[in-house]
Amino acid sequence: MAATKAVVGPSGLIGPPLTEEDEARSRDRSRVHHARRDRKRWYLMWLLVGPGILAMLGENDGPSMIAYAADGAQYGLGFFVPFIPVLFAMAFVCQEICMRVGAVTHRGYGELVLQRYGRVWGWFGAGDLALTNLITLIAEFVAIRVGMAYFHLGSGVAVMLGMALVLFTLSGGRYWRWERIVLGMALFNGLFLVAAILVKPHVGAIADSFDFRSFPGGGFNTLLLLIASTIGATVTPWMIFFQQSASADKGMTPEDVKHGRYDTAVGAVLAAVFGIGALVAGAALLTHHGSTVGGFAGAGFPEALRRVAGPAAGTVFALGLIEAGAVAILTISASTAYAAGECIGVSHSFNSSPRTATVFHAANVGIALLAAAVILIPGAPLLSIALNANVLATVLLPVSLVFMVMLANDKGLMGPWANRRSTNVVGITVIAFVGVCGAAYGIDSFLQTVHLISP
């Protein structure tokens, strides 16, 4: 058993012992306190950034960047260029709420849903998350495999890389170290912006596309698929679980909410810029035949870009897919681990060792290992999984969003930090928009399946 230290209060009574998790977090908070006391603003910002940027750039994952590139390859520049920043503005609203609830309550999303609304809804949310996370993690390994295929490396290498990163980031035994390692990796999401520059796009065409006038044509169901997958590329259930739990694990307090907003806003801006980069790179394939979504199996987009824009563009895009898949594996696995620990009611922190947080660490490694095993199954429909992972997230997202808004309006939990009316209006609008888009695609697909409408 890990060593603990008894706490003696002012009255001389002995309180609950400090755990290794408490001690690690108190050291982190001590640095924050001294930075705030000494008015070291930039150092304070450095100490407090992390969960917001990781949630946003983690969502710029392999399936998302493939979805953005598919939008560009299918429709070119136009509707989807301004649509991406709008979606990340929506994501900012949602993630700011998660950060604020985590900082004020010091508890994760899954734990609060279970405590406030009962075990049925708590476990439903955890099951919803586990399903979407498993499908998405399979898609992340697919993205790594697509990137590796460009360099003539197989599925086995992709699996070993993903699992090695999961185990390596857990080896530090501290949330701070885990966060800094993954944050450093996430910044390489900027490779998609480099890929966009390498395809030499027409700057004027990009600027003109922000007027929203160029609504895409083509098949209605395909358009709904791309819109739903683009929504699922910006706001997903795992982001809600992750940022709230990571904010609590980081030890954020109501005093840190302002910096948490900065962190989340920076993440949203970077993710939108890099996402547009992937779309612009994909748009280079619009006039070069084979621009349909199904035309990019095998080495996929990187190989297509190599033929159209040269080896540098293909190489950078392939490396970007490897980075996007790797970072997402780490953050999505972490969200699963947080949910598992919170719902079961055991230790759930990167500051705890595997001995004291067995469920947390086992869930973190286990779900990644399960997804990796699927990649190695001969004949598995990997491309279909990768293309539909974001759609599944969109369909299942509204339930998580509803509970997120309800928690943020709970005066007993949030006190003066509860949602303002304007935040609620935006939040409800986001829920309605996501729900309508997901339902529209589901209904249209069902009607086609039963042959009530033609494709």
3-state secondary structure 305-349: HHHHHCHHHHHHHHHHHHHHHHHHHHHHHHHHHHHHHHHHCCCCC
Triad 339, 103, 405: Cα angle to 5°: 70
pLDDT confidence tier of residue 3, bands split at 50, 70 and 90: very low
* Residue appearing with tokens 């900082």: 103
pLDDT of residue 77: 83
pLDDT of residue 98: 94
The structure's pTM equals 0.87
Domain spans in the chain, listed from the N-terminal domain onward: 41-449
pLDDT of residue 398: 83
Computed over its alpha carbons, how large is the radius of gyration of the chain? 22
Neighbour-count burial of 451, counting CB atoms closer than 10 A to its CB (0-12 exposed, 13-18 middle, 19+ buried): exposed
Examine the pLDDT at 416 and tell me if it is beyond 70: yes
Percent of the chain with pLDDT over 70: 84
Could you tell me how far CA 101 lies from the centroid of its own chain?
18
At 66-106, the pLDDT tens digits run 888 888 888 888 778 888 898 899 899 999 999 999 999 99
**345 Cβ partners below 8 Å, 6+ apart?**
none
Examine the pLDDT at 306 and tell me if it is beyond 80: yes
> Residue 407: which of 263, 266, 260, 245 has the closest Cα?
245
Neighbour-count burial of 68, counting CB atoms closer than 10 A to its CB (0-12 exposed, 13-18 middle, 19+ buried): buried
**Cβ neighbour number for residue 248 with a 10 Å cutoff:** 27
Percent of the chain with pLDDT over 90: 42
What's the residue count for the chain?
A: 455
Structure tokens at 169: 């980031």
pLDDT of residue 255: 94
Neighbour-count burial of 83, counting CB atoms closer than 10 A to its CB (0-12 exposed, 13-18 middle, 19+ buried): buried
Examine the pLDDT at 332 and tell me if it is beyond 70: yes
H/E stretch holding 15 reads strand 14-18
Examine the pLDDT at 271 and tell me if it is beyond 70: yes
Dist CA 29 CA 362 (whole Å) = 27
Backbone angles phi, psi at 346, to 5 degrees: -120, 175
If DSSP codes are grouped into helix, strand and coil, which group holds residue 434?
Answer: helix
Assess if CATH 1.20.1740 describes domain 41-449: yes
Check: CB of residue 172 under 8 Å from CB of residue 416: no
At 171-230, the pLDDT tens digits run 777 899 999 999 999 999 999 999 999 998 888 777 777 766 665 655 666 666 667 767
> Residue 279: which of 53, 59, 75 has the closest Cα?
75
